Copies of this chain bind each other. A is one copy, B any other.
Amino acid sequence: MPKQDTRSLPEFTRSDSHLSELLNYLHQIADLQVLGAIAEWDQNTAMPGGAAEIRGFQVAALQGVLHELWTNPRLASLLNELSERVQQAPFSDADRGLLREVLRAHERATKLPRNLVEEIARLQATSFEAWRSARAHNDFALFAPMLSRTIALQREVADRLGYIETRYDALLNEYEPGMTASKLDSLFTPVYETSKSLLQRIEKSGNTIDSSCLEGEFPVEQQIALCEHLLRAMGYDFSRGQMAQSPHPFTTSFGSPFDVRVTVRPLVNFLQASLMAAIHEGGHAVYEQGSAPTLARTPIAGGASLGAHESQSRLWENAIGRSEPYWKSQYASIKEAFPAQFADVDLNTFVRALNRVRPSMIRVEADEVTYNLHIIIRYELEKAMVNGDVAIETLPGLWNAKYREYLGIEPANDAEGVLQDIHWSSGFGYFPTYTLGNLYAAQIFHKLHAVFPDFDQRLASGDTFFILEWLRDQMYSFGAIYLPGELIKRVTDEPPNPQHFTRYLNTKFEKIYGLPGAQ
């Protein structure tokens, strides 16, 4: 059971009649939006496959209703009225954050005509099918026309939403408010350099890690029980959630911290994938469960951005979940679940196996050293696509060249190359948030060690509640009140700074691989 929650929570200024009216209006929108989230959860966990087409109609009907609500003139006049006053007393940070996000959603709905939004939705459906078929047939040409059309429509979206520097910024802003390509470039450059150089140093050292203990057969029932155990141990509250199974693991919440669910996907030969995915989704989930209940049923409930969200999944999965202190208290549960497989495997061997570095073609299976190189490749390519700097037919070649240059390997075909990810069947701007999440996670991890000098000892003793409690107080509570960059600054007393990640990476893997200290 999670211990008692003693936070002081952010509050809206409900005494103001306009803000109160706005909140009631937003509650209605949020309540309806949740119906879409429920439909999506259902589609992934329960719905028979033959109902997919009709489910699409249902979701589209809801989108139509929501579009009407977001563009309602009464909403516009409320926003107008409040915008002039919200910077002054008695309004709170929560009020200001709310106004900012509602203005953004209202402007978005107003600027994007309904027929464009509907065309994008229809294109996504057919583009997804085209992508799946192209990957199955290993034929980029089957996907290229859809990708071209997606580029054209996303450029139109960017033009309509507006931007200062590049079109790509407008799309990025959809996932990571306040972020721009030029900021990303300066954050990503040191990540690229450190990752590439660390990888070369590891390869040159000739040192290797034996991860054979993670290979073999691990019955699915025990994996499920282990996932549940690990989630419970990290403070995921099952009384306000549920763990189900779906083809790809995900986390979703339903308008409040009282209903935040995760899914897992145990496969008999991939123990590491299911355990680490459970902790990863657990990170997303404790973030959502920690969002202040006072923010429920508004657009600023939940996480601050995709990057902020990914910072928590990565913090729990990698910085904590692939560390020796963490497994000091948790490894017993693994040995208990699979006594035969781990009889002769000691803690150190197990943790080293979880951290083996090896360049591979597949992003989702990448280790911490190579992961961001996968992302940076995608970021550079999609930025070029959106900004009009790439001819579509040259994309597979560009992809392969970058893999050769950044990771020293080359895809055997487009299915494991440019057709690897689903993301480009719907749009652009999502990928960089993965690396942003890694950067934020390292910065927060650094701060946690500064606040708790005995961090490793407490973690090794099996205590994770002090981490959860601190994150809840400093970060989770605030939902999307603050822009992600500002939130990171409030949590860590420093704006986003990639040096924390590069230092984390070097220190961790120099030790694991026994490399001579850097520089």
Binding site for B on A (CB under 8 A): 27-28, 31-32, 34-36, 38-39, 41-42, 45-51, 54-55, 57-58, 60-62, 64-65, 238-242, 244, 254-256, 258-259, 261, 296-297
Q: Which residue of chain B has its CB nearest to the CB of A260? A: B48
Most buried by B among A31, A241, A261, A297: A31
- Name A51's contact: one of B50, B64, B240 (CB within 8 Å): B240
Kindly state the separation between the CA atoms of A48 and B261 in the bound complex, as whole angstroms.
Answer: 9
Most buried by B among A49, A51, A60: A51
Interface contact A28-B61, CB-CB below 8 Å: yes
Interface contact B48-A45, CB-CB below 8 Å: no
Smallest Cβ distance from A298 to chain B, in angstroms? 12
Interface contact B239-A54, CB-CB below 8 Å: no
Kindly state the separation between the CA atoms of A476 and B346 in the bound complex, as whole angstroms.
Answer: 63
Q: Which residue of chain B has its CB nearest to the CB of A39? A: B38
Interface contact A51-B254, CB-CB below 8 Å: yes
Smallest Cβ distance from A71 to chain B, in angstroms? 15
Kindly state the separation between the CA atoms of A239 and B50 in the bound complex, as whole angstroms.
Answer: 7
Smallest Cβ distance from A251 to chain B, in angstroms? 14
Kindly state the separation between the CA atoms of A238 and B54 in the bound complex, as whole angstroms.
Answer: 17
Kindly state the separation between the CA atoms of A258 and B255 in the bound complex, as whole angstroms.
Answer: 29
Besides the contacts A41-B46, A54-B255, what 14 more A-B pairs have beta carbons closer than 8 Å? A27-B61, A31-B57, A32-B58, A35-B35, A35-B62, A46-B46, A49-B239, A50-B259, A51-B240, A51-B256, A51-B259, A54-B259, A55-B259, A58-B254
Kindly state the separation between the CA atoms of A258 and B49 in the bound complex, as whole angstroms.
Answer: 9
Mostly helix, strand, loop or mixed at chain A's interface?
helix
Kindly state the separation between the CA atoms of A255 and B52 in the bound complex, as whole angstroms.
Answer: 12
Q: Which residue of chain B has its CB nearest to the CB of A50? A: B258
Smallest Cβ distance from A240 to chain B, in angstroms? 5
Interface contact A242-B54, CB-CB below 8 Å: no
Residues of chain B lying within 8 A (CB to CB) of residue A296: 54
Residues of chain B lying within 8 A (CB to CB) of residue A244: 46
Residues of chain B lying within 8 A (CB to CB) of residue A55: 254, 259
Kindly state the separation between the CA atoms of A179 and B294 in the bound complex, as whole angstroms.
Answer: 49
Kindly state the separation between the CA atoms of A57 and B24 in the bound complex, as whole angstroms.
Answer: 11
Give 20 A-B contacts (CB < 8 Å), ordered by A residue: A31-B54, A31-B60, A31-B61, A32-B62, A35-B35, A35-B39, A38-B38, A38-B39, A41-B46, A46-B242, A46-B244, A46-B261, A48-B240, A48-B258, A49-B239, A50-B259, A51-B240, A54-B258, A58-B255, A65-B65
Residues of chain B lying within 8 A (CB to CB) of residue A28: 61, 64
Smallest Cβ distance from A5 to chain B, in angstroms? 13
Interface contact A239-B65, CB-CB below 8 Å: no
Copies in the complex: 2
Smallest Cβ distance from A416 to chain B, in angstroms? 32
Interface contact A34-B46, CB-CB below 8 Å: no
Smallest Cβ distance from A493 to chain B, in angstroms? 35
Residues of chain B lying within 8 A (CB to CB) of residue A64: 28
Most buried by B among A64, A239, A240, A258: A258
Q: Which residue of chain B has its CB nearest to the CB of A52? A: B258
Smallest Cβ distance from A190 to chain B, in angstroms? 43
- Name A61's contact: one of B32, B57, B58, B240 (CB within 8 Å): B32
Residues of chain B lying within 8 A (CB to CB) of residue A36: 35
Interface contact A242-B48, CB-CB below 8 Å: yes
Residues of chain B lying within 8 A (CB to CB) of residue A50: 239-240, 258-259
Kindly state the separation between the CA atoms of A391 and B38 in the bound complex, as whole angstroms.
Answer: 44
Interface contact A241-B48, CB-CB below 8 Å: yes
Smallest Cβ distance from A125 to chain B, in angstroms? 15
Shortest 3 CB-CB contacts between residues of A and residues of B: A51-B259, A31-B61, A35-B35
* Given A38-B38, A58-B32, A58-B34, CB of A259 within 8 Å of CB of B45: no
Kindly state the separation between the CA atoms of A259 and B55 in the bound complex, as whole angstroms.
Answer: 10
Interface contact B65-A32, CB-CB below 8 Å: yes
Residues of chain B lying within 8 A (CB to CB) of residue A297: 54, 57
Kindly state the separation between the CA atoms of A476 and B42 in the bound complex, as whole angstroms.
Answer: 26
Most buried by B among A49, A57, A239: A57
- Name A38's contact: one of B42, B48, B61 (CB within 8 Å): B42
- Name A27's contact: one of B47, B57, B241 (CB within 8 Å): B57
Kindly state the separation between the CA atoms of A476 and B48 in the bound complex, as whole angstroms.
Answer: 21
